[in-house]
């Protein structure tokens, strides 16, 4: 019985960070961070996990491993200048934690410091399913440590799907089966979506997906898990 109790206690301890610091990001002083849509903001180095220039919604996405369109009812203050944070935390022990170990620790941190309460629900959404076009993908596989290619974008197909979602009228779901990191060249309809004609942006983006990426975005429907924020508070900066 003692061994069983010890195992439960150790598992419980592994669900929380030893120490965590949350500070409001000072955009006037701190170096700006260029974000890649769909990229995981958690950076693990040794036993530390850091997230820079993140909103509450970013933190929820990282903690629960969901996309932006799967998080709803973020409070009005989320994303305000005084509610963009830098988070630095230390996991128990000296062994670098895996992402799967960090996520529940981040969930616990959100519950403790942001007083976050969520509920999960399933919802059917209109989506675009991203598949490989007839003539194959126009993506160049590269190693993660390869130097940047001039005038090229870089990312996984999952990240490409997240980028495409910014220009289309529904989420893009990766159904290509392609894994790894790719360089690609795509002149998307990168217009001011607040002033450009929405139908034109969508049409140009769908054309670019096939002609420039060798992929297809086909309309469909998908039942997705949603994270609904029921309540949250700004944390005290510590």
Kindly state the tokens that stand for 227. 């994270």
In tens, the pLDDT along 100-128 reads 999 999 999 999 999 999 999 999 999 99
pTM, to two decimals: 0.79
In tens, the pLDDT along 26-75 reads 876 655 555 666 678 999 999 999 999 999 999 999 999 998 899 999 99
Contacts of 18 (CB under 8 A, 6+ apart): 90, 91, 92
**In which band, very low, low, confident or very high, does the pLDDT at 190 lie, cut at 50, 70 and 90?**
low
Distance separating alpha carbons of residues 76 and 232, to the nearest angstrom: 10
**In which band, very low, low, confident or very high, does the pLDDT at 80 lie, cut at 50, 70 and 90?**
confident
Residues 144, 190: contact at Cβ < 8 Å? no
């Amino acid at each position: 019985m003692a061994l069983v109790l010890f195992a439960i206690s150790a598992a419980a301890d592994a669900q929380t960070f030893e120490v965590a610091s949350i500070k409001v990001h000072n955009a006037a002083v701190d170096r700006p961070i260029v974000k890649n849509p769909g990229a995981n903001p958690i950076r693990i180095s040794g036993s530390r996990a850091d997230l820079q220039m993140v909103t509450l919604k970013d933190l929820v996405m990282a903690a629960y491993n969901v996309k932006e369109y799967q998080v709803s009812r973020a409070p009005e203050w989320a994303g305000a200048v005084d509610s963009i944070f830098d988070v630095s935390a230390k996991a128990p022990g000296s062994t670098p934690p895996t992402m799967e170990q960090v996520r529940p620790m981040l969930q616990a941190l959100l519950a403790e410091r942001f007083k976050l309460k969520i509920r999960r629900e399933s919802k059917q959404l209109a989506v675009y399913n991203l598949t490989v076009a007839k003539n194959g993908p126009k993506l160049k596989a590269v190693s993660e440590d390869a130097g940047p290619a001039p005038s090229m974008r870089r990312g996984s197909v999952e990240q490409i799907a997240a980028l495409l979602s910014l220009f289309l009228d529904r989420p893009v779901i990766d159904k290509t089966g392609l894994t790894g990191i790719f360089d690609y060249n795509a002149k998307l309809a990168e217009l001011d979506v607040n002033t450009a004609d929405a139908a034109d942006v969508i049409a140009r983006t769908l054309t670019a997906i096939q002609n420039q990426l060798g992929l297809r975005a086909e309309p469909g429907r998908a039942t997705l898990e949603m994270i609904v924020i029921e309540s949250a508070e700004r944390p005290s900066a510590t």
